[in-house]
Amino acid sequence: MDIIILTMSRWDEPYSSTIFSLAKEFAHRHRVFYIDHPYTIKDFWQANKQANAPHRRKALLFGNDIFTSLAHLSPNLIAVTPRLTLPINWANGGVYNFLARWNDGSVIAAIRKTIQQYNIKQYLFINSFDPFFAQQLPPDIAPTQYIYQSTDAMQQGAYVAKHGVKLEQEMMKRADKTLVTSKQLLKYAQQFSANAHLLPNAADVALFNQAVSQHFARPTDLPTTTQPIIMYTGNISQSRMDFALLQKIAQQHPNKQLVCIGPVDSPEHTKYGLDKMPNVTFLPPKTIEQLPAYLQYAQCCIIPFLANELTQSIYPLKINEYLAAGKPVVTTNFSEDIADFAHIAHVAQSHTDFVQAIQTALDTNTPALQQARIALAQTNSWTERAKQLDRIINYKL
């Protein structure tokens, strides 16, 4: 059985994603065709000078050379680039629907060309959080099963919510099965899908376990200190991060270094003076392959999320990445999913609890606890998730 995936995440983005991790896992046993979220003309204009745009130029402009072998990851993994589409989020009603059908032609053409080029007879189609395209596939290229995957709360992002909420609801009703990554998303999906299933995020356990099993030279941009390092990795987002909590951590742990690694989407942290504190360091984003070297030098890892409508739908990738690295974890209690880790991580109920839990985590860490964290992470690997999906779709992938 071949697998065709349409996704909101492009294969060469620097950050890990749920669906690309699953795609790499599936490719151990199946041919996987990973269709990038289409570039609009505006996207292409803005990204034309970036490293990941020029090599797509022939595909985007002319529909030529649309296939990219990702043999360095798996001989069975092939990326597919549809032709350019139009930016249409501004439109409404019949105008939007007309332009959406025009745009959809680019994706349908890429799928049809993939089926013809690789002589695909039967395939599973997964639309991962991209309901703007391929709501329905023509009968001549119909998949064996159509799976829709929701990985976040569509209604929480103003730009995508404008059309995305309605389109996602339609997609959930139409798809053979709907996958979601958190318990809150499952409750939402069950309103529209009679066949919704929880398939949580996981981790590349082997990769992140390198923080334990291998020795890395200390990254040159880490603070040169013998003080314990409290580390966060991921998006430093105004809508998710509790910057008041980060401020308290830095203030009440002056003998420790707080290191946050990831893209910053607003200057919100400066309102709390975090950019001026001597024991706080913000580092630019790292690729997933670089992170184990940084985690090796951390003594405690944190998830300092706000508890709000957005975060209650999140099952964070990073919890299993931290555990696979053997690190003590302190987190806020922002969702049902994170609460399930209370037996292995410190799930704080308040700022005071969180600040105290960091010291407790450092004081009580043992090799036995490290191994227990790694063992739990191994049950949440992408290999295990692929097995779960086998059972959900009732077909041996």
Give residue-wise pLDDT tens across range 67-108: 999 999 999 999 999 999 999 999 999 999 999 999 999 999
Strand-pair category, 67-69 with 77-80: antiparallel
Name residues whose C-beta falls within 8 Å of residue 324's C-beta, 6 or more positions apart in sequence.
Answer: 203, 204, 205, 207, 208, 209, 211, 373, 374, 377, 378
CA distance 179 to 336: 17
| pLDDT tens readout for residues 19-63 | 999 999 999 999 999 999 999 998 888 766 555 667 788 999 999
Mean pLDDT by 10 residues, the chain (397 residues): 94 84 93 95 75 78 94 94 96 95 96 97 96 95 96 84 94 96 96 96 96 97 94 93 97 97 92 96 94 98 94 93 98 96 97 98 97 97 93 71
Provide the pLDDT for residue 53.
Answer: 66
CA distance 368 to 168: 44
Provide the pLDDT for residue 48.
Answer: 62
Rounded-to-10 torsion of CA 22, 25, 30, 31: 60
Provide the pLDDT for residue 45.
Answer: 82
Provide the pLDDT for residue 49.
Answer: 54
- In this structure, which amino acid lies at residue 155? Q
Provide the pLDDT for residue 198.
Answer: 96
Strand-pair category, 177-180 with 145-150: parallel
Question: What are the structural domains of the chain?
Answer: 2-202+381-393 (3.40.50.2000), 205-378 (3.40.50.2000)
| Contact by Cβ (8 Å): 230, 328 | no
pTM assigned to the model: 0.90
Provide the pLDDT for residue 157.
Answer: 75
- In this structure, which amino acid lies at residue 156? Q
Provide the pLDDT for residue 223.
Answer: 92
Cα→Cα distances 148→68, 142, 215, 314, 340, Å: 24, 15, 40, 17, 25
Provide the pLDDT for residue 90.
Answer: 94
CA distance 155 to 395: 32
CA distance 195 to 176: 7
- Vertex 336: Cα angle to 332 and 341 (nearest 5): 65
